[in-house]
Amino acid sequence: MSEAILRVEGLRKVFGQAVAVGEVSFSLPPAGALAVVGESGSGKTTVARMIVGLERPTAGHVTACGRDRSQPARSARERRRRGGEVQIVFQDPYASLDPRQSPAAALEEVLRLHTALDRGRRRARVAELADLVGLDERQMAARPARLSGGQRQRVAIARALAAEPRILILDESVAALDVSIQAQVLNVLSQVRERTGVAYLFISHDLAVVRQVSDDVIVMRHGAIVERGPTGRVLDAPEHPYTRLLRASVPGPGWRPARRIGQEAKETR
């Protein structure tokens, strides 16, 4: 395995008294695809937000492309450089775009920020990115309100890719989409990885989606990693009881939902 492009070491985040993430370490190889699986409160989203700098780690280190990013960026240049290394796509397709800005303008803005391309080149690059995620010219010129959830999510992916990041974090990015649209976006993601060699950190609660897009998986619970390994192995032969529970909770043919005894008491907040 080549040198990791993203390395997280002893990452910890405490909100007041509550430990959201405690001592999490993992690494992602170039062009790899690592999934972080967990339920609400597992800390998986907090990990993602710390990596992109939207939350400040209480302790631990995040290294991307060989450079430390555990502390806030000091200069505008440093901020932009970090933006060119790691990008993120959020869950909610309806709030992920500025309602007053067309997709083309949003991509153009990112290109102005990250590249020295002239106007014509920028336009060509916008068309290229639109093509990569399967959006046509009319959709790229439309107001976001006129686009469907799936189309908006593709715009968000294209906008993230415009900075030519080495790492793309997808934080439940397909969870809110209709099944048929979700499949389209998942295929777009596979295709983008093959064509650009970007590495994915895929945050999700959906084991079937994780199987489809990731090579390796980390299972998180209550802020800690309980199991890790190649996706196929972890899903087919889970070792940790919690992973087994997750696996058994996925409905499928012949599935009988089972009531867990004594679990209910723990659910109280």
Only one of the segments 11-19, 58-66, 87-95, 135-143 lies at the binding site for another protein (rule: CB under 8 A); that segment is 87-95
By CB under 8 A, the count of residues binding another protein is 81
Q: Out of 80, 121, 143, 233, name the contact with another protein by CB under 8 A.
A: 80
Q: Out of 150, 172, 201, 218, name the contact with another protein by CB under 8 A.
A: 150
Binding mask 121-140 for another protein (x = CB under 8 A): --------------------
Binders of another protein in range 161-220 (CB under 8 A)? 163, 178-184, 186-187, 190, 205, 207-209, 211-212
CB 118 to another protein: min, Å: 20
- CB nearer another protein, residue 124 or residue 208: 208
The helix or strand, by DSSP H or E, that contains position 220, with its residue range, turns out to be: strand 216-221
Q: Could you give the C-alpha distances from 220 to 40, 88, 171, 179, 225, in angstroms and in order? A: 10, 20, 14, 25, 4
And the tokens for 14? 């405490």
- CB nearer another protein, residue 65 or residue 88: 88
Binders of another protein in range 28-57 (CB under 8 A)? 39-40, 52-54
How far apart (Å, rounded) are the C-alpha atoms in residues 107 and 104?
5
What are the residues whose beta carbons fall under 8 Å from the beta carbon of 25, sequence distance 6 or more? 8, 9, 10, 11, 60, 225
| Residue pair 223/20 in contact by the 8 Å Cβ criterion | yes
Binders of another protein in range 217-246 (CB under 8 A)? 231-232, 235-236, 245-246
| 65 belongs to the binding site for another protein (CB under 8 A) | no
Task: Give the DSSP letter string of 68-106.
Answer: E-SSPPSSHHHHHHHHTTEEEE-S-TTTSS-TTS-HHHH
